[in-house]
Structure 1
Amino acid sequence: MAIIAQLSDIHLAAGRDGEVDDGSGPVRALRAAVSSLLSLPARPDAVVITGDLADGGRRAEYARLHALLSPLPMAVYPMCGNHDDRDELRRVFADHPEVTDTGTSPQAPVQYAVDVAGVRLVCCDTTVDGHAHGHMSEERLAWLDGTLGTAPDTPTVIATHHPPYPIGMRFIDDLRFVDPAGFAAVVSRHRQVVRVISGHVHRASVGSLAGTVSTTCPSTYRQLFLDLTSQGRAAVTGEPAGFAIHLIGLDGSATTHFAPTGNYRPLMDVE
């Protein structure tokens, strides 16, 4: 079984001086998330970060992120969100070959596949330059189709920033994954896909795509207000930050847990 932790929507932000304040909310929140992962009785085999690593796509933000993630002993796989800059991400995470070997152009999609304890993690780039919504071009879909086709018998998790299903929150659905039909068609052709995981929503949700369970992850920083009305107020809440843990069996089973950040200890044993 592979244990894959998912962090998302970290939003490290540099100030007017171009530096990231170590006392800022996003920094404190990420430290808490890293500490929480390290305190788990069963440590994850890998950590995937499903986008919006930086708030402004600045090099200083990625540099601070790189340092804050350094206590994690397992592999860390960063992905782009609509707030990120591919070129700056590649520059700072040059020690991550899966990020730097994804194209000759600085703004080529950051997309790659890696093995994690016998299962496959396929990271897709759904970002659209200069826009907040998500989309996968025909070229990106062809890459995904070909990548999935090389390991048809290996249980696979697909990661995106934008969720490919409607959330029901107007503010988020206005910034949705545009035209996910092509993505769904690719997923439906590959039966080994056992989970599609995404960020962008700043809260946990569970949906479906082409017969596959699809989930979103809480933000390590701030959660969005759950307003399901047609007006859909865009606001953040005081809900706790969190992360997701995905348990992927070599037999194709898949279970997802959502946990708040914090080092929670057993209060008592339950018989």
Structure 2
Amino acid sequence: MAIIAQLSDIHLAAGRDGRVDDGSGPVRALRAAVSSLLSLPARPDAVVLTGDLADGGRPAEYERLHALLSPLPMAVFPMPGNHDDRDEMRRVFNDHPAVAASGLTPQAPVQYAVDVAGVRLVCCDTTVDGHPHGHMSRERLAWLDETLSAAPDTPTVVATHHPPFPIGIRFIDEMRFVDPAGFASVISKHPQVVRVISGHVHRGAVGSLAGIVSTTCPSTYRQLFLDLTQPGRAAVTGEPAGFAIHLVENDGTATTHFVPTGNYRPLMDVE
């Protein structure tokens, strides 16, 4: 069994002086998330970061992020969101060959596949330069199809920043994954895909794509207000920050848990 942790929408932000304040909310929140991960009885085999890692795509934001994640003993796999700068992220996280190899040209998509305890994690780049919405071009879809075809018998988790299903929150759906049909058509060809996981929403949500369970992840920082009315209010709430844990068995069985940040201890044993 592979245990994959998902952290998302961290939004580390540098100030006018170009530095990230260690007392800022995003920094404190990320430290709490890392501590929570390390307190789990079964530690994850890997951590995937599903975008919006930095708030402004500045070098100092990625450098501080890399340092704050350094206590994690497992591999950490970053991917960009609409707030990120691909080249700055790749420069700082070049300690993993798959991430470094994805940058053959400036601002090339950050997309790669890695093995995690017998399960394949395929990280896609859905970002569109200068825009908040998501999209995968023909070239990116061709890469995904070829990558999935290379390991048809290995249970696979596909990760994106933008979720390929509607959320119901108006302003998030306005920044949606545009035209997810092409993405769905590729996924539907590969039955080894057992889960599609995304960020962007700052909430845990469950949907489906091509018959595959698809989930979004809580933010390690702030959660969005669940207003399903139209036009709805764009706001953040005081709900706990969190992350997701994905369990994938070798037979392809997959389970997702949404975990609030905090070092929780058992109150009592139950039978």
TM-score range, shorter chain: over 0.9
Bigger Cα displacement from structure 2, 87-96 vs 66-75? 87-96
Amino acid at match of 1:48: V
Compute the TM-score of the two structures, normalised by the length of structure 2: 0.99
Deviations 1:97-141 (A, max 9, x none): 211101311200000000000010000000000000000000000
1:123 is aligned to 123
Alignment of structure 1 residues 135-174 onto 2, 5 Å: 135-174=135-174
Return the alpha-carbon distance in structure 2 between the equivalents of residues 217 and 98 of structure 1: 23
Higher strand share: 2
CA contact (8 A) 2:12 2:20 kept: yes
1:254 is aligned to 254
Amino acid at match of 2:76: V
Alignment of structure 1 residues 190-205 onto 2, 5 Å: 190-205=190-205
Alignment of structure 1 residues 55-66 onto 2, 5 Å: 55-66=55-66
Return the alpha-carbon distance in structure 1 between the equivalents of residues 252 and 63 of structure 2: 37
Deviations 1:179-232 (A, max 9, x none): 000000000000000000000000000000000000000000000000000112
1:45 aligns with 2:45: yes
The SS at the match of 1:161 is: coil
Return the alpha-carbon distance in structure 1 between the equivalents of residues 58 and 43 of structure 2: 31
Return the alpha-carbon distance in structure 2 between the equivalents of residues 206 and 152 of structure 1: 25
CA contact (8 A) 2:157 2:196 kept: yes
**Unpaired segments of 5 or more residues in structure 2?**
none
The SS at the match of 1:201 is: coil
Return the alpha-carbon distance in structure 2 between the equivalents of residues 177 and 245 of structure 1: 23
The SS at the match of 2:247 is: strand
Deviations 1:57-95 (A, max 9, x none): 000000000000000000000010000000111111121
Amino acid at match of 1:102: S
Give the aligned length: 271
1:81 aligns with 2:78: no
CA contact (8 A) 2:248 2:255 kept: yes
Amino acid at match of 1:161: H
The SS at the match of 1:132 is: strand
CA contact (8 A) 2:123 2:160 kept: yes
CA contact (8 A) 2:87 2:103 kept: no
Compute the TM-score of the two structures, normalised by the length of structure 1: 0.99
Alignment of structure 1 residues 205-224 onto 2, 5 Å: 205-224=205-224
Return the alpha-carbon distance in structure 1 between the equivalents of residues 134 and 123 of structure 2: 14
CA contact (8 A) 2:7 2:243 kept: yes
Return the alpha-carbon distance in structure 2 between the equivalents of residues 75 and 103 of structure 1: 19
Return the alpha-carbon distance in structure 2 between the equivalents of residues 252 and 95 of structure 1: 30
CA contact (8 A) 2:170 2:231 kept: yes
2:237 is aligned to 237
Return the alpha-carbon distance in structure 2 between the equivalents of residues 4 and 90 of structure 1: 21
Alignment of structure 1 residues 14-33 onto 2, 5 Å: 14-33=14-33
Return the alpha-carbon distance in structure 2 between the equivalents of residues 22 and 92 of structure 1: 19
